[in-house]
Amino acid sequence: MADAPTGDSKTSARPVRILALGGSTRTESSGGEALRIAAEGAQVAGAQVEILRGRSLIFPLYDAETAERDDAVRAMVEAVRRADGLIVVSPGYHGGISGLVKNALDYIEDLRGDSRPYLEGRAVGCVAVAHGWQAAITTLQQIRQVVHALRGWPTPFGAAINGSVVRLSDLTADDPITQQLHLVGQQVVEFARMRRAHGGAS
Ligand SMILES: Cc1cc2nc3c(=O)[nH]c(=O)nc-3n(C[C@H](O)[C@H](O)[C@H](O)COP(=O)(O)O)c2cc1C
């Protein structure tokens, strides 16, 4: 996604950087669409957004026995390292985060030795898409728990979407779900700006 005009010019030379990752391996992934819309919210709020969606998250299984990383994993870890905030979207698989998304998040372990370890100082907008409310909600809770464990700050507003009652690719700009996803992206940017205003690393 291209750089957007930003409202950050008064406070810093560079825009807030947001990494949006998630979705599923399906071409028509509804989670991928939710990711796009939440990222749009961050971009409209003035952030520079990088998207790692679906199949671009097909990484080797995280293996604690080796520090070897392929280029795609290294690129994702670098993208997390430079991000001021993240958006994470997972489908609900059997009531929880999909293996694809959790495996990608496990590689954040590679940031443990950083001066800003794991997700410290970063807000994370959390979104879950499932075929029913139960898994949408339990998956959203899981994403938030993982973000907490990684020392990140789940945004106050998270989105739990039931894909059986809405088709994300058909959403209009004024649909409440579009607005909810935009709010997730906006809150990530808002937190990054607050941190910056108070002397934080972003
Ligand atoms: C392996 C698998 C497990 C799933 N488990 C659940 C589930 O427990 N509850 C639910 O509501 N939907 C479940 N679903 C449906 C997905 O959450 C739903 O279709 C979601 O929108 C898929 O995301 P995608 O469109 O980004 O691929 C499952 C789908 C798959 C493929």
Ligand 1 site, CB within 6 A: 23-24, 26, 29-32, 91-95, 129-132, 135, 163
The CATH number, out of the four listed (3.90.470.10, 3.20.20.70, 3.40.50.1580, 3.40.50.360), of the domain defined by the range 16-197:
3.40.50.360
Contact partners, residue 134, CB within 8 Å, separation at least 6: 95
- What CA–CA distance (Å, rounded) separates 20 from 51? 5
CA of 121 to the centre of ligand 1 (A): 31
Beta strand residue intervals within 39-169, DSSP E: 48-53, 85-93, 96-97, 123-130, 153-154, 159-162
The answer to whether 88 and 126 have CB atoms below 8 angstroms apart is yes
Res 198: pLDDT: 87
User: What is the structure's pLDDT at 201?
Assistant: 58
Residues 6+ apart with CB under 8 A from 108: 77, 80, 118, 119, 150
With a cut of 70, which residues of the chain have pLDDT below it? 1-13, 201-202
- Indicate which atom in ligand 1 lies nearest the CA of residue 25: 27
pTM value is 0.94
Give yes or no for a contact between 101 and 134, defined as CB atoms under 8 angstroms apart: no
Is residue 189 within 8 Å of residue 18, measured between CB atoms?
Answer: yes
pLDDT at res. 115: 96
pLDDT of residue 12: 56
The distance of Cα 28 from the centroid of its chain, to the nearest Å, equals: 19
- Out of 55, 93, 140, 164, give the residue to mutate to test ligand 1, the one with the largest number of ligand atoms within 8 Å of its CB: 93
Instruction: Please give the pLDDT value at position 2.
Output: 39
CA dihedral for 163, 124, 51, 68, sign (positive or negative) = negative
pLDDT of residue 1: 44
Delimit the domains of the chain by residue range: 16-197
The pLDDT value given to residue 199? 80
pLDDT value of residue 123: 98
Rg of the Cα atoms in the chain: 16
Q: What is the dihedral of CA 83, 128, 161, 84, to 10 degrees?
A: -10
What is the predicted pLDDT for the residue at 10? 46
